[in-house]
Structure 1
Amino acid sequence: MKHVPVSGDPVPFSAKPFRSVAVIGAGSWGTALAATLARAGVQTRIWGRDAAVVNDINATHRNAKFIPDVDLPPNLLAVHEMSDALRGAEAAMIVVPSRSVRAVARQVAAHAAPGIPVAICAKGIEAETGLLMTQVAEEELGSRPIGCVSGPTFARETALGHPTAATVAFPFAYADRLTPHESPAARFSVSLTTESFRAYVSDDLIGVEIGGAVKNVIAIACGMMTGAGFAENTRAALITRGLDEMKILAEALGGRRETVTGLSGIGDLSLTCSSPTSRNMSLGQQLGEGTPRENCFGGKPVVVEGEFNAKTVTDLARKVGITMPICETVRSILHEGEELGTAFAALWARPIEAEPRAMALSLDHPATHQAIANLAERIS
């Protein structure tokens, strides 16, 4: 069906895709993004530190280690040297775990052309500094424009071409306001957009990044309660109140509440909290079932971003003087030795609040002791 514009619709601009993009990171999400770019007709090189993965992509057009059942575009080239990935690239995407962003950004800075835009595709907050991932990258990449890509995106589904949407966020300078179709965000958006992938544009970098960091922690909480035997009511409550925590932190740091109700906020939150495909929810579910942390994922050393985010998010919230009860509960279980049943019972027995925060109302919980006793017993 042809789109029929109505009064009030913005007039579409024609943005120019990047001719060549370097994707730094050959894990599942990096591979999915690289495949999307290549299918959009962008000359794409993907860098991987694992030579076996690089060779596999070039020889078989598959990434057997991370998304083995997905055929990759034959025009996608994998490289093992950072200089090869970035040579001639008009833009770059850093798609590595949050703990590796600083070191990898430093490598990118040594080889990337001055002034090329770089999109960070990791979600989290650096433990040592309390900086968001784009702020970490800014310290290493100098004057290059820094933005991020975030949204409700499982890598395998994206790589398979399932209809998917995400947000590209970059700060908008004065010149970007005058010619928005020439901004890095707009050019990344059209570079990524295919028949199945839609990339929306945002200028609220903080709001988008906070959504990506907080949703991982809320997903662990949802998984814990699912593993403990609770169902839809409980998960819906955690998602909704978790969204509120996300809004408060974003706003406190200068982001917009509106952003958190978009793809990078509620979109990513609802996806991550609703499927064991998410490593965050899966970890929570295993812990809720009583599996010791060292035995989760069959004892394999699986990186779960929300496990680190639980501490970094709450550290940041404490620093700016706001309360995030669900995130604090997850932190107490993962990092402070609190028993899962006791921690969630205490969360549910907190004083009753008004949902619109503007009311500034708090009421004594009339069944605090019963709530604590009931939930602690049911979860144990």
Structure 2
Amino acid sequence: MTRAAVLGAGSWGTTFAKVLADAGCEVVLHARRPELAAAITDSRENADYLPGVRLPDRLRATADPGEALRDADVVVLAVPSQSLRDNLAEWRDLLPPDATLLSLMKGIELGTTKRMSEVIQEVTGAGPERVAALSGPNLAREIAEEQPAATVIACSDADRVAQLQAACHTRYFRPYTNPDLVGCELGGAVKNVIALSCGIAEGLGFGDNTRASLITRGLAETARLGMALGAELTTFAGLAGLGDLVATCSSPLSRNRTFGEKLGRGMSVEEVQRSTRQTAEGVKSCRSVLDLARAHGIDVPITEAVVRVCHEGEAPAQMVREIMSREAKSE
């Protein structure tokens, strides 16, 4: 039986722990707060992040990372992207030496512009064959409620990715594999930024044409950047590209879309952050995505506009005017 440690007891970490348990794995979920870990184990529910969802008996929780990681075959990392490096520094010496390290995170590190797999390799010393990433349309609540969903797992090691695929394949969760780690991670990170723009447009009162335009042009700038970094173009037409982008830009369950909608309605970034305990990864990652694009000479106008609204005080309505007034060109 595969033993999995899931580090991070937010909504997505808890949901994926449930998926693993439903697929037959022995799962230990690490929650930083002891009271949350105790509540999950005792009540079979994470009332803070997934109220009303019963968790499998095969899943237990702990606040002790050493206990969670002991003898783990798979270590799942489900913490906020910008806290990954500090968390890994704390956990590094506890990691089993040959465990597969699976990232659920969708972000680009501020300052270094590194993808999450690159941070994992750098901090832990793990070879690239041990590091994988899961991406796709992963709205946690729907998956926790066992609504049918597909996802993609990317890794350079065919045997490891096949083992991961088997470890999380259930009647409601269908994982595909893909060797393009760069493309899968980049699609997952940039879609959060595009979802912010779609939320802003929604908050301003714009409709489906606007959202469809932002999704399509957002996919184009994601693919441009991905190709510059060595990704495969076909990845962006798949689950980690278009699939994740459509779900995140369209669903009210999307943290980034919801965050953007509140900005479009006139709330400040600080006011929106105070109103939720969930992390909207795109708010911070938009700056690192823009830095990455500029370093490679790639034009990313939607990302630039989101950065101006989130970090430079630009009014959302002005953002839309600037995007629409850009020089006309061929698609």
- SS of match in other structure, 1:171: coil
1:106 is matched with which residue? 89
Q: Which moved more, 1:115-124 or 1:291-300?
A: 291-300
2:61 is matched with which residue? 78
Query: Match for 1:121 among 87, 104, 123?
Result: 104
Asked if 1 retains the 8 angstrom alpha-carbon contact of 2:11 and 2:140, the reply is yes
Asked if 2 retains the 8 angstrom alpha-carbon contact of 1:82 and 1:107, the reply is no
Aligned residues with identical type, % of pairs: 40
Give me the whole-angstrom Cα distance separating, in 1, the residues matched to 2:266 and 2:328: 29
Cα deviation 1:170-216 (Å, max 9, x = unaligned): 123xxxxxxx4xx1111101100011111110110000000011000
Within 5 Å, give how 1:216-295 maps onto structure 2.
216-295=192-271
Give me the whole-angstrom Cα distance separating, in 2, the residues matched to 1:104 and 1:138: 14
Q: Structure 2: where are the runs of 5+ without partners?
A: none
Asked if 2 retains the 8 angstrom alpha-carbon contact of 1:94 and 1:105, the reply is no
1:162 is matched with which residue? 147
User: How big is the shift at 1:119?
Assistant: 0.5
Cα deviation 1:260-312 (Å, max 9, x = unaligned): 11111111100010022111111111111112333326634642111011111
- SS of match in other structure, 1:353: coil
Give me the whole-angstrom Cα distance separating, in 2, the residues matched to 1:299 and 1:20: 37
Q: Which moved more, 1:295-304 or 1:229-238?
A: 295-304
Query: Match for 1:200 among 157, 166, 176?
Result: 176
Give me the whole-angstrom Cα distance separating, in 1, the residues matched to 2:265 and 2:202: 8
Q: 1:61 to 1:209 in 2, by over 3 A?
A: same
Asked if 1 retains the 8 angstrom alpha-carbon contact of 2:108 and 2:285, the reply is yes
Asked if 1 retains the 8 angstrom alpha-carbon contact of 2:137 and 2:244, the reply is yes
Give me the whole-angstrom Cα distance separating, in 2, the residues matched to 1:143 and 1:223: 38
Asked if 1 retains the 8 angstrom alpha-carbon contact of 2:256 and 2:281, the reply is yes
Cα deviation 1:65-106 (Å, max 9, x = unaligned): 110110000110111111101111111110111011112222
Give me the whole-angstrom Cα distance separating, in 1, the residues matched to 2:261 and 2:141: 21
User: How big is the shift at 1:344?
Assistant: 1.6
Give me the whole-angstrom Cα distance separating, in 1, the residues matched to 2:293 and 2:306: 14
TM superposition score normalised by structure 1: 0.84
- SS of match in other structure, 1:165: strand
Give me the whole-angstrom Cα distance separating, in 1, the residues matched to 2:208 and 2:301: 20
TM superposition score normalised by structure 2: 0.96
1:30 is matched with which residue? 13
Provide the alpha-carbon RMSD of the alignment.
1.3
Asked if 1 retains the 8 angstrom alpha-carbon contact of 2:137 and 2:245, the reply is yes
1:152 is matched with which residue? 137
Greater relative CO (CA pairs within 8 A, separation 6+): 2
Asked if 1 retains the 8 angstrom alpha-carbon contact of 2:252 and 2:258, the reply is yes
Q: Runs ≥4 in structure 1, deviation > 4 angstroms?
A: none
